[in-house]
Protein backbone atom coordinates (compact mmCIF):
# COMPACT_ATOMS: atom_id res chain seq x y z
CA UNK A 1 0.00 0.00 0.00
CA UNK A 2 2.84 2.38 0.92
CA UNK A 3 4.64 1.91 -2.42
CA UNK A 4 1.39 2.06 -4.42
CA UNK A 5 0.42 5.31 -2.68
CA UNK A 6 3.80 6.84 -3.54
CA UNK A 7 3.57 5.79 -7.21
CA UNK A 8 0.04 7.11 -7.67
CA UNK A 9 0.79 10.42 -5.93
CA UNK A 10 3.92 10.87 -8.07
CA UNK A 11 1.96 10.38 -11.29
CA UNK A 12 -0.65 12.90 -10.17
CA UNK A 13 1.91 15.65 -9.63
CA UNK A 14 1.50 18.54 -12.11
CA UNK A 15 4.54 17.97 -14.32
CA UNK A 16 4.25 14.17 -14.81
CA UNK A 17 0.49 14.44 -15.28
CA UNK A 18 0.64 17.29 -17.80
CA UNK A 19 3.51 15.67 -19.72
CA UNK A 20 1.47 12.46 -19.91
CA UNK A 21 -1.47 14.45 -21.30
CA UNK A 22 0.88 15.97 -23.89
CA UNK A 23 2.28 12.57 -24.90
CA UNK A 24 -1.24 11.19 -25.28
CA UNK A 25 -2.09 14.20 -27.44
CA UNK A 26 0.92 13.56 -29.70
CA UNK A 27 -0.01 9.87 -30.00
CA UNK A 28 -3.55 10.86 -31.01
CA UNK A 29 -2.10 13.27 -33.58
CA UNK A 30 0.33 10.72 -35.05
CA UNK A 31 -1.79 7.59 -35.05
CA UNK A 32 -5.38 8.75 -35.47
CA UNK A 33 -7.38 11.27 -37.42
CA UNK A 34 -8.66 12.99 -34.29
CA UNK A 35 -6.78 16.24 -34.94
CA UNK A 36 -9.11 18.34 -32.82
CA UNK A 37 -8.76 16.06 -29.80
CA UNK A 38 -4.99 16.00 -30.27
CA UNK A 39 -4.79 19.79 -30.37
CA UNK A 40 -6.91 20.04 -27.21
CA UNK A 41 -4.70 17.60 -25.31
CA UNK A 42 -1.45 19.25 -26.40
CA UNK A 43 -2.87 22.69 -25.61
CA UNK A 44 -3.95 21.56 -22.14
CA UNK A 45 -0.46 20.18 -21.55
CA UNK A 46 1.40 23.33 -22.61
CA UNK A 47 -0.96 25.82 -20.97
CA UNK A 48 -1.02 23.73 -17.79
CA UNK A 49 2.78 23.63 -17.56
CA UNK A 50 2.89 27.41 -18.11
CA UNK A 51 0.33 28.09 -15.37
CA UNK A 52 1.95 25.67 -12.92
CA UNK A 53 5.29 27.48 -13.23
CA UNK A 54 3.85 31.02 -13.10
CA UNK A 55 4.56 32.66 -9.73
CA UNK A 56 1.42 34.81 -9.35
CA UNK A 57 -0.70 31.65 -9.54
CA UNK A 58 1.48 29.23 -7.56
CA UNK A 59 2.17 31.68 -4.75
CA UNK A 60 -1.51 32.59 -4.51
CA UNK A 61 -2.32 28.90 -3.98
CA UNK A 62 0.58 27.99 -1.68
CA UNK A 63 0.74 31.03 0.60
CA UNK A 64 -2.66 30.53 2.29
CA UNK A 65 -1.70 26.91 2.99
CA UNK A 66 1.58 27.98 4.61
CA UNK A 67 0.01 30.77 6.64
CA UNK A 68 -2.52 28.56 8.44
CA UNK A 69 -0.11 28.20 11.38
CA UNK A 70 2.13 30.99 12.75
CA UNK A 71 5.89 30.61 12.98
CA UNK A 72 7.20 29.59 16.41
CA UNK A 73 8.71 32.29 18.63
CA UNK A 74 8.68 30.90 22.17
CA UNK A 75 6.46 29.39 24.83
CA UNK A 76 6.43 29.53 28.62
CA UNK A 77 5.27 25.91 28.85
CA UNK A 78 7.82 23.31 29.96
CA UNK A 79 8.92 21.46 26.82
CA UNK A 80 9.91 17.81 26.99
CA UNK A 81 10.22 17.00 23.29
CA UNK A 82 10.95 18.72 20.00
CA UNK A 83 9.97 16.49 17.08
CA UNK A 84 11.25 17.00 13.53
CA UNK A 85 9.41 15.21 10.73
CA UNK A 86 11.61 13.73 8.03
CA UNK A 87 11.86 14.53 4.35
CA UNK A 88 13.98 13.33 1.41
CA UNK A 89 17.55 12.10 1.13
CA UNK A 90 20.07 10.49 -1.17
CA UNK A 91 22.90 8.21 -0.12
CA UNK A 92 26.10 9.06 -1.96
CA UNK A 93 29.41 8.74 -0.13
CA UNK A 94 30.99 11.30 -2.44
CA UNK A 95 28.64 13.91 -0.93
CA UNK A 96 28.99 15.65 2.43
CA UNK A 97 26.12 14.87 4.78
CA UNK A 98 24.64 18.32 4.12
CA UNK A 99 24.16 17.28 0.48
CA UNK A 100 22.75 13.85 1.26
CA UNK A 101 19.79 15.37 3.11
CA UNK A 102 17.30 17.30 1.01
CA UNK A 103 17.11 21.10 1.45
CA UNK A 104 13.70 20.59 3.05
CA UNK A 105 15.08 18.09 5.57
CA UNK A 106 17.97 20.39 6.47
CA UNK A 107 15.67 23.37 6.96
CA UNK A 108 13.42 21.34 9.25
CA UNK A 109 16.36 19.94 11.19
CA UNK A 110 18.06 23.30 11.70
CA UNK A 111 14.79 24.81 12.96
CA UNK A 112 14.33 21.82 15.26
CA UNK A 113 17.83 22.20 16.70
CA UNK A 114 17.32 25.95 17.16
CA UNK A 115 14.16 25.36 19.17
CA UNK A 116 15.61 22.35 21.03
CA UNK A 117 18.43 24.53 22.37
CA UNK A 118 15.88 26.94 23.82
CA UNK A 119 14.63 24.26 26.25
CA UNK A 120 17.36 22.54 28.32
CA UNK A 121 16.36 19.05 29.31
CA UNK A 122 14.20 18.44 26.24
CA UNK A 123 14.71 15.51 23.88
CA UNK A 124 15.01 15.85 20.10
CA UNK A 125 12.87 13.33 18.19
CA UNK A 126 13.93 12.68 14.58
CA UNK A 127 11.73 10.59 12.34
CA UNK A 128 12.22 9.07 8.92
CA UNK A 129 11.81 5.71 7.25
CA UNK A 130 14.69 3.26 6.87
CA UNK A 131 13.19 1.13 4.11
CA UNK A 132 13.20 1.69 0.37
CA UNK A 133 16.59 2.66 -1.12
CA UNK A 134 17.97 3.59 2.31
CA UNK A 135 21.26 1.68 1.78
CA UNK A 136 21.18 0.53 5.38
CA UNK A 137 20.64 3.91 7.02
CA UNK A 138 17.31 5.47 7.86
CA UNK A 139 16.44 9.08 7.18
CA UNK A 140 16.08 9.65 10.93
CA UNK A 141 19.59 8.33 11.58
CA UNK A 142 21.07 10.42 8.78
CA UNK A 143 19.50 13.53 10.32
CA UNK A 144 20.88 12.44 13.70
CA UNK A 145 24.40 12.28 12.25
CA UNK A 146 24.08 15.88 11.11
CA UNK A 147 22.51 16.96 14.41
CA UNK A 148 25.43 15.48 16.35
CA UNK A 149 27.88 17.16 13.94
CA UNK A 150 26.12 20.45 14.75
CA UNK A 151 26.63 19.95 18.47
CA UNK A 152 23.58 18.06 19.72
CA UNK A 153 24.39 15.44 22.36
CA UNK A 154 23.47 12.04 20.93
CA UNK A 155 22.01 11.08 24.32
CA UNK A 156 19.31 13.70 23.74
CA UNK A 157 18.14 12.19 20.43
CA UNK A 158 15.36 9.65 19.92
CA UNK A 159 14.95 8.02 16.51
CA UNK A 160 11.72 6.86 14.89
CA UNK A 161 13.06 4.72 12.04
CA UNK A 162 10.07 2.50 11.31
CA UNK A 163 7.54 5.23 10.50
CA UNK A 164 6.69 5.36 6.80
CA UNK A 165 4.35 8.35 6.78
CA UNK A 166 3.02 11.20 8.91
CA UNK A 167 0.22 9.15 10.42
CA UNK A 168 2.61 6.51 11.73
CA UNK A 169 4.90 9.26 13.04
CA UNK A 170 2.01 10.75 15.01
CA UNK A 171 0.94 7.49 16.65
CA UNK A 172 4.51 6.50 17.47
CA UNK A 173 5.06 9.92 19.05
CA UNK A 174 1.97 9.41 21.19
CA UNK A 175 3.60 6.39 22.82
CA UNK A 176 6.60 8.46 23.88
CA UNK A 177 5.21 11.92 24.55
CA UNK A 178 2.04 10.87 26.38
CA UNK A 179 0.80 13.91 28.36
CA UNK A 180 3.99 15.97 28.14
CA UNK A 181 4.47 19.07 25.99
CA UNK A 182 5.97 18.69 22.54
CA UNK A 183 6.89 21.12 19.78
CA UNK A 184 6.30 19.82 16.26
CA UNK A 185 8.59 20.98 13.45
CA UNK A 186 7.76 20.43 9.80
CA UNK A 187 7.26 22.40 6.60
CA UNK A 188 4.66 25.15 6.83
CA UNK A 189 2.72 23.63 3.94
CA UNK A 190 2.50 20.24 5.70
CA UNK A 191 1.74 21.45 9.21
CA UNK A 192 -2.08 21.41 9.05
CA UNK A 193 -2.13 17.91 7.54
CA UNK A 194 0.36 16.71 10.17
CA UNK A 195 -1.68 18.23 13.00
CA UNK A 196 -4.72 16.26 11.86
CA UNK A 197 -2.88 13.00 12.57
CA UNK A 198 -1.29 14.19 15.82
CA UNK A 199 -4.68 15.29 17.13
CA UNK A 200 -6.07 11.93 16.02
CA UNK A 201 -3.33 10.26 18.07
CA UNK A 202 -4.34 12.26 21.14
CA UNK A 203 -1.52 14.84 21.08
CA UNK A 204 -1.77 18.62 21.08
CA UNK A 205 1.69 19.70 19.89
CA UNK A 206 2.87 23.29 19.77
CA UNK A 207 3.44 24.09 16.11
CA UNK A 208 6.72 25.31 14.65
CA UNK A 209 6.27 25.54 10.88
CA UNK A 210 9.36 26.18 8.78
CA UNK A 211 10.53 25.96 5.16
CA UNK A 212 8.19 28.72 4.01
CA UNK A 213 8.37 29.09 0.22
CA UNK A 214 5.55 31.42 -0.83
CA UNK A 215 6.69 34.97 -0.18
CA UNK A 216 4.31 37.90 -0.58
CA UNK A 217 6.94 39.53 -2.82
CA UNK A 218 6.39 38.91 -6.52
CA UNK A 219 9.76 38.18 -8.08
CA UNK A 220 8.96 36.86 -11.51
CA UNK A 221 6.29 36.90 -14.17
CA UNK A 222 8.23 34.45 -16.33
CA UNK A 223 7.65 30.69 -15.93
CA UNK A 224 10.27 29.12 -13.68
CA UNK A 225 10.85 25.62 -12.31
CA UNK A 226 11.01 27.07 -8.78
CA UNK A 227 7.31 27.88 -8.96
CA UNK A 228 6.52 24.52 -10.54
CA UNK A 229 7.84 23.10 -7.27
CA UNK A 230 5.41 25.32 -5.38
CA UNK A 231 2.53 23.89 -7.38
CA UNK A 232 3.75 20.36 -6.67
CA UNK A 233 3.70 21.14 -2.94
CA UNK A 234 0.13 22.43 -3.19
CA UNK A 235 -0.96 19.34 -5.14
CA UNK A 236 0.82 17.00 -2.73
CA UNK A 237 -0.84 18.55 0.31
CA UNK A 238 -4.31 18.69 -1.23
CA UNK A 239 -4.05 15.04 -2.23
CA UNK A 240 -2.84 14.23 1.28
CA UNK A 241 -5.82 16.00 2.81
CA UNK A 242 -8.16 14.15 0.48
CA UNK A 243 -6.53 10.87 1.53
CA UNK A 244 -7.07 11.86 5.17
CA UNK A 245 -10.78 12.37 4.62
CA UNK A 246 -11.14 9.07 2.77
CA UNK A 247 -9.20 6.96 5.28
CA UNK A 248 -10.80 8.63 8.30
CA UNK A 249 -14.17 7.37 7.07
CA UNK A 250 -12.97 3.87 6.24
CA UNK A 251 -10.44 3.06 8.96
CA UNK A 252 -10.27 3.17 12.72
CA UNK A 253 -7.24 5.31 13.56
CA UNK A 254 -6.45 3.16 16.60
CA UNK A 255 -5.58 0.28 14.30
CA UNK A 256 -2.54 2.27 13.18
CA UNK A 257 -1.18 2.47 16.73
CA UNK A 258 2.55 1.66 16.83
CA UNK A 259 4.95 0.98 19.66
CA UNK A 260 7.55 3.75 19.81
CA UNK A 261 11.14 2.73 19.24
CA UNK A 262 13.90 4.62 21.06
CA UNK A 263 17.21 4.27 19.26
CA UNK A 264 20.36 6.29 19.88
CA UNK A 265 22.40 7.30 16.86
CA UNK A 266 25.64 5.54 16.26
CA UNK A 267 28.92 7.27 17.15
CA UNK A 268 30.14 9.49 14.34
**Stated pTM of the model:** 0.85
Note whether residue 258 is domain-resident: no
Q: pLDDT higher for 88 or 156?
A: 156
**pLDDT digit string, tens, across residues 36-65:** 999 999 999 999 999 999 999 999 999 999
Q: Is residue 62 part of a domain?
A: no
Q: What CA–CA distance (Å, rounded) separates 40 from 43?
A: 5
In degrees and rounded to multiples of 5, residue 104 shows phi and psi of -65, -45
Alpha carbons 239 and 186: distance in angstroms, whole number: 18
The 3-state DSSP class for residue 51 equals helix
Q: Look at residue 266 and tell me whether its pLDDT is greater than 70.
A: no
Count of structural domains within the chain: 1
**Cross-strand partners of 209:** 186
What is the pLDDT, as a whole number, of residue 131?
60
Q: Does some domain include residue 44?
A: no
Residue 108: domain span = 73-210
d(CA 139, CA 130): 6
Per the domain annotation, does 110 fall within a domain?
yes
Nearest Cα to Cα of residue 58 among 207, 244, 237, 245:
237
pLDDT digits (tens, 9 = 90+) for 149-165: 999 999 999 999 888 88
> Are the C-beta atoms of 160 and 172 separated by less than 8 Å?
yes
Residue 14 lies in a domain: no
Alpha-carbon distance of 265 to 142, in angstroms, equals 9
- 268 domain residue, yes or no: no
Q: Is residue 190 situated within a structural domain? A: yes
Q: Is residue 163 part of a domain?
A: yes
Please give the Cα distance from 19 to 127 (Å, whole number).
33
Alpha-carbon distances of 224 from 47, 59, 60, 132, 228, rounded to whole Å = 14, 12, 15, 31, 7
Q: What is the CATH number of the domain that holds 150?
A: 3.40.50.620
Residue 37 CB coordination number (10 Å):
14
Mean pLDDT value across residues 180-186? 97
Amino acid sequence: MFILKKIISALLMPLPFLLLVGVIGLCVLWFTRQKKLASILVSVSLIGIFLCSFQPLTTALLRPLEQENPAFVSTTKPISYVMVLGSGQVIDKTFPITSELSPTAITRLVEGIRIFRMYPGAKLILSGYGGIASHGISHARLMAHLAVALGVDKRDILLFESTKDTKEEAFQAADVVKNKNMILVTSASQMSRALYYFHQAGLQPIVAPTNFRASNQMRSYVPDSTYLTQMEIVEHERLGQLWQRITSKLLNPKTEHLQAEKVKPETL
